[in-house]
Chains A and B, each alone.
Chain A
Amino acid sequence: MQFSRLESANAASPVRFTCNGQVVEARAGDSVATALLLAGIGSTRDTALSGEGRAPYCLMGVCFECLVEIDGVPNQQACLVPVSDGMSVRRQEGAPQVWDG
């Protein structure tokens, strides 16, 4: 699953953030979810049960498939969060580890 951007939409100001350390070049006005799709990050999480990969399904805040960790806070709906410079995004992989030390 690859996405591209219309030439007309490339003029918006650039925004740069990372996903699992990989630099993502986005545009102002993108949601994190759409920016990840455009960057070729086709799967945004692995499920907590079977571990299978999932990707944004609705892009309007109802499917919860795009849950990611943003700046250390897990379970953010990537389709509802606008991109901003320096943001650190991480995929959610499997069940969360509960620290009991």
Chain B
Amino acid sequence: MSAVHDLVIIGAGPAGIAAARSARADGLDAVLLDEQAEPGGQIWRAVGRVARERPGDLGIFGGSYAKGAGPVADLWGCELRFCATVWHLHRAEDAWEVVFSRSGAAERVRTKTLLIATGAMERPVPIPGWTLPGVTTIGALQLALKQSGAYPTGRVVLMGGGPLALLLASQFKAAGVPIAAELDTAPANRLSVAARYLPGAVLGAADTLLDGLRLLRGRTAITGVAPLEILGEGKVEAVRYRDGSGLHEVPADHVALHEGVVPNTQLTRLLDLNHVWNPVQRCFHPVLDPFGESSVADVFVAGDGGGILGWRAAQAAGALAAAQIAWRLGAIVESERDLRAAHHHGRIAAERRLRRFLDALYPVPDWLRLPEDRTTICRCEEISAGRVREMARLGCAGPNQLKAYLRAGMGACQGRMCGLSVTEILAETQGRTPEEIGYGRIRPPIKPVTLDELASLYQEPTS
């Protein structure tokens, strides 16, 4: 049997990188895995390469991006595995086993403790026409610009709400990428509601707020937009929406959508950790103790995968979990752990105050939670919201039975795209709460693997 590491960290974003550096400083034997080719996660995607090869572009992306250049360049001495797609986690004898594929071959590493730092994904935006080629998320366009300097040409319509939507618009302006229309879907009257959280946000994260205010300068967005439909035959041709002045249709070659981010719970669900419904952010996240340990001993979660708080909180949470692990493994003393914990808890509390303000400013709208009947919600198996409602009215017991009825959640993405819609629609139709409905069971492999890869793991029994 192979060696058992102290710690395996899955995900090299702000949380995973902070944890890896902390573990290195404490002399732990840690491994950091990421499915991308470079460290940085989504927020710092390719920042090391951009800083080296096209430093002039750092200015396009703003301060939070450039702040990643230091951490991603300081992973010297950490054991790193990139292009490593994790597809199974399980308890094997007295250790955790992480199974992943790299370049078409499966590998496994064994570890005493596990840190899941797989971050957030953009909340899927099911509206009619969202499956057309030419529709992406706003985050996707930002990633293409970071990683490859790639941007869409023609008539580009940004339609969404939340900090990332504002950020991409400003990045496109800085890069000289023309935007045909910026349609802001945030409800127009939220500032008065959000205002009571503003003092806390100012105290907690004044610099982040100032960055946000700068994004609003010189903005020419159409506000109070409710998206209706993306039109086109085989590709995007136009967008239809409603605002205070009525119905509108704008021609478009590319439509980018964004309605905030939600935890990517695929691995935490695979391990069947306890999850809880967040009624404000309208998503599930794993239940964690103050150090980020989950309901299963020695399994930690740090960063947005444990609940959306943003990258600064993720960094703190990664270092916090690593400190707790180092203490448990005897690498640091309790007083040292407590000293670090006090510092990290302070940062996380400040970011939590900012998040309350943002959550109040950008509530999840009903058109997003409860798509109209004809809207495809399961992109893989091409299942509409109406079909899910039909099954709900027939008495479908929950997301797992729905798989048997419709295959929703059984396609290639394994429910990443439709999971929250299924929970919301079943809950609404049956008059139950999302907690009661729950979420579909996630089973391995959580990424496509070939029989060759499976077979390569088989070891001849030693006699």
Please report A residues at the B interface, Cβ cutoff 8 Å: 1-6, 8-12, 27, 29-31, 34-35, 37-38, 42-43, 47, 49-50, 52-65, 67, 73, 75-77, 80-82
Contact = CB atoms under 8 A, between A and B. Distances in A.
B35 to A, nearest CB: 5
13 contacts: A1-B134, A3-B151, A6-B175, A11-B54, A29-B46, A35-B148, A38-B148, A53-B235, A54-B379, A56-B140, A62-B413, A65-B379, A75-B448
B170 to A, nearest CB: 16
Interface residues of B, number: 53
Interface string B404-427: 000000011100110000000000
B71 interface: no
A64 B134 contact: no
Nearest to B121: A62
Contact of A29 (B148, B151, B413): B148
Contacts of A31: 37, 147-148
A42 to B, nearest CB: 5
Nearest to A1: B134
B386 interface: no
Interface in B375-401: 379-382
A1 to B, nearest CB: 4
A50 B382 contact: yes
Interface string B445-460: 0011010000000000
Contacts of B382: 47, 49-50
Contacts of B416: 62-64
Contacts of B140: 56-60
B372 to A, nearest CB: 19
A59 B236 contact: no
Given A54-B131, A56-B136, A9 B154 contact: no
B315 interface: no
Given A5-B151, A81-B83, 17 more contacts: A1-B134, A1-B154, A1-B254, A9-B54, A9-B148, A29-B37, A29-B46, A30-B148, A30-B150, A31-B147, A37-B144, A42-B133, A56-B136, A57-B137, A59-B140, A64-B412, A64-B417
Interface in B246-298: 253-254, 264
A57 B121 CA distance: 12
Contacts of B412: 64, 67, 75
B133 A34 contact: no
Contacts of B121: 58, 60, 62
B57 A6 contact: yes
Contacts of B135: 55, 57
Contacts of A34: 144, 147-148, 150
Contacts of B83: 80-82
B154 to A, nearest CB: 6
B314 to A, nearest CB: 16
Contact of B53 (A11, A30, A52, A53): A11
B46 A38 contact: no
A1 B148 contact: no
A77 B417 CA distance: 15
A50 B376 CA distance: 12
B5 interface: no
B235 A42 contact: yes
A58 B148 contact: no
Given A6-B175, A8-B54, A12-B53, A55 B134 contact: yes
Contacts of B143: 59-60
A1 B230 CA distance: 14
B84 to A, nearest CB: 10
B133 A43 contact: yes
Contacts of B236: 1
B42 interface: yes
B49 interface: yes
A9 B151 CA distance: 11
Interface in B147-186: 147-154, 175
Nearest to B54: A8
Given A1-B133, A34-B147, A58 B122 contact: yes
Nearest to A57: B136
A49 to B, nearest CB: 5
B137 A30 contact: no
